[in-house]
Structure 1
Amino acid sequence: MKLDAVHPDFRKAAKYFPSMPLNSRLMRAVIRGLSRSLPAPKSIPEVTVSEARAAGIPLLVYTPTTPPNGAMLWIHGGGYVMGSYRMNGPDCLRYARKLKLLVVSVDYRLAPQTAFPGPLDDCAAGWQWMQDNADSLNIRRDRIIVAGQSAGGGLAAALVQKLCDTSPVKPLGQVLYYPMLDDRTVLRSDMQNLKHYVWNRHNNLLGWRAYLGQEPGGSSVPEYSVPARRSHFENLPPTWLGVGSIDLFFQEDLQYAEQLQAAGVPCNVEVVEGGPHAFDAMAPKSRLTRGFMLSQYQFIRQLLSST
């Protein structure tokens, strides 16, 4: 993909933004180590940051110093094979500070060491911890939003599907940042020669292969492992989905949103023209990034005010 396709706000950063060479075991180990060594987010006057554990899985808890309006379970990205709950600390702090949400970030286990359903089970453990501790956390069990970024967005979508099918308490809504939703994207011939920024087709193949424990794009996958393969969408909660127009996940994300809308699920879609994968990290102060964040803040505020 030519640099000209990238919006000018992100072009300079995209030129130098590192790709993720997941074909190298050494580089995977280095990237994973770097994400694990990120400094722990620190409390600020409006938000207290603490640690907890859910069935042995580490959690970071961002608690507003005033009574929370609601809560969010946050799931980090990393292609299912890297990342940590310390990622997105500034985002979680903003959710807690601006929207008065109690935010819980879950440190799910990573593939290929832990393939499906392990990572999803860990996210479910984070949800259950919030349910079990709702009274002491000063939150309502039915006012929890599930949110995630990239592969974390895929896990968020899968978790919401499972909870809506099996849990007595449903998520209030879901917020999906350029989510990784469909393993069949690796089969698309029109993607083979496009060199997407940050997250490309080859990485996508390796990420899905590690997570599924089988070749992606096959005739069948386990239930809840690939959100886009769900057969019905009628019982899912209101959704906000955002993606850049030159992201590898652009088409699969729009198709998912269309399936939700066709099933009568309210779904707000925010497309950032010329936005590659992780564009918000490339240029957090860009006008487009600010608009992207404002769109989801408005969605969350409306969601909370309607209940």
Structure 2
Amino acid sequence: MMKVTKEQLHEDLRPFYLKANAIKPVFQYKWLTKSLNAVLNRVLKGAGIKGLKSDEISIPSSVGAHQIRTRIYRPLESEGELPVVVYFHGGGYFAGIPEQFHVYIEGFIKTKPCIVVAPDYRKSYTAPYPAGFNDCYDTLLWVKNNAQKLGASHHGIITAGHSAGGGLTAAVTLKARDTGDVPIAFQMPFYPMIDDQQPADASRYIKAPVWDSHTNKAGWGAYLSELHKTNQAIPAYAVPAKNSDYSGFPPTITLVGTLDPFYQETCRYVEALKNAGVDVAFETYEGAFHAFEVIAAQTNISQQVFDYTFSQFAKFYDRYAIREL
């Protein structure tokens, strides 16, 4: 087991060591995670972004009567069809809402004119896989089928997300590749949660701030609980690292910290994409724990993450999202 000490962190992140470790118990106990979700919904649900148009719709689920609460953000003024970023928020598959990630949603729109569609997919303590995955894929199909009403381009659909949202990005993009339902211009699975074997792999076991192997075990256990209960095989749409064919994947932007439990799986994912001839932009951050740029947003290393994210987004937007507009 690797236990991360304060001295191992990047110097910008050392002052946040205690704060970052104090976050972990929220994800280690079911009742605390559910309480966090209740607080987020009470405090942030429905919040807008100053200088942008923010709307909320309900997208019908393709399975059952569930309605997917979905946020739509766009510039106040725009001309012509815009690319769409379908954004999946993070939270270990069992926590979070789209409004937590306004810094990224705002950043994408202000970097390049686009529409961001962000579903508040079902969380695994309430409805385990495939509920959240289905909600995300249904949102992607809704964007394609309602492009004209959205003022969006059929050819400029981008998938993106952080952490578990990065895992959902990889899973949704995989299914879109397999089915041919939606052409994905490019994907952005940032430090994605894609391998359920990490917690049990002694060579990757890590005790680190914010999210580590222990919290990762809780997250995967909740998300895959129904499959485990019924002894079903785990599909790649649930655990994208199980995919073995990366041909036909769209261009990809990603990043990860070297002290993130997802570090090795992200590196393997990038290697597989590159071996399949996919255009990949990839950056690692030495001595950085999971979601460090959110916890320590004003530090130099975190500003490097934001600069990298939005500059690469701009490059891929010009290269892949508007080529057929």
Correspondence 1:159 to 2:172: yes
User: For residues 6 and 23 of structure 1, what CA distance do their matches in structure 2 show?
Assistant: 22
Question: Which residue identity does 2:191 align to in structure 1?
Answer: Y
Tell me what 2:32 maps to: 27
Corresponding residue of 1:44? 50
1:11 aligns with 2:11: no
Structure 1 residue 294 displacement after superposition? 2.1
Matched, 1:58 2:58: no
Deviations 1:237-275 (CA, angstroms, capped at 9, x unpaired)? 000111111111101110110011111111111111111
* Per-residue deviation, 1:292: 1.6
Alpha-carbon distance in structure 2 between the residues aligned to 1:92 and 1:277? 19
Give the deviation of 1:69 after TM superposition.
Answer: 4.2
CA–CA separation in structure 2 for the residues paired with 1:220 and 1:8: 43
Q: Residue 44 of structure 1 aligns to which amino acid in structure 2?
A: K
Which residues in structure 2 correspond to 1:190-201 (within 5 Å)?
190-192=203-205, 194-201=206-213
**Matches for 1:34-113 after TM superposition, within 5 Å:** 34-39=39-44, 40-45=46-51, 47-55=52-60, 56-65=67-76, 66-67=78-79, 69-113=82-126
Secondary structure of 2:303's counterpart equals: helix
Q: Which amino acid aligns with 1:61?
A: I
Map 1:158-307 onto structure 2 (within 5 A).
Answer: 158-192=171-205, 194-213=206-225, 214=227, 220-306=233-319, 307=323
Distance 1:285 1:141 in 2: 37
**Contact 2:191/2:256 (<8 A) preserved:** yes
Shift of 1:219: 10
> Normalising by structure 2, what TM-score?
0.88
Residue by residue over 1:88-132, the C-alpha shift from the partner in whole angstroms, topping out at 9 and shown as x without a partner, is 022212211222121011100011321111111100111122112
C-alpha separation in 2, matches of 1:191 and 1:255: 13
- How many residues in Structure 1 have an aligned counterpart in Structure 2? 304
CA distance in 2, matches of 1:119, 1:202: 22
1:138 Cα shift?
Answer: 1.3
Report if aligned partners of 1:35, 1:84 keep a CA contact under 8 Å in 2. Answer: yes
Gaps of 5+ in 1: none
- Which secondary structure does the structure 1 equivalent of 2:192 belong to? coil
- The answer to whether the Cα contact below 8 Å between 2:49 and 2:102 also exists between their aligned partners in 1 is no
Corresponding residue for residue 2 of structure 1: 5
**Could you say what the CA RMSD is over the residues aligned between the two structures, in angstroms?**
1.9
2:13 corresponds to which letter in structure 1? F
Matched to 1:87, the amino acid is: Q
**Counterparts in 2 of 1:80 and 1:6: CA distance versus 1, 3 Å:** same
Displacement of 1:215: 5.3
* CA distance in 2: counterparts of 1:293 and 1:90, whole angstroms: 9
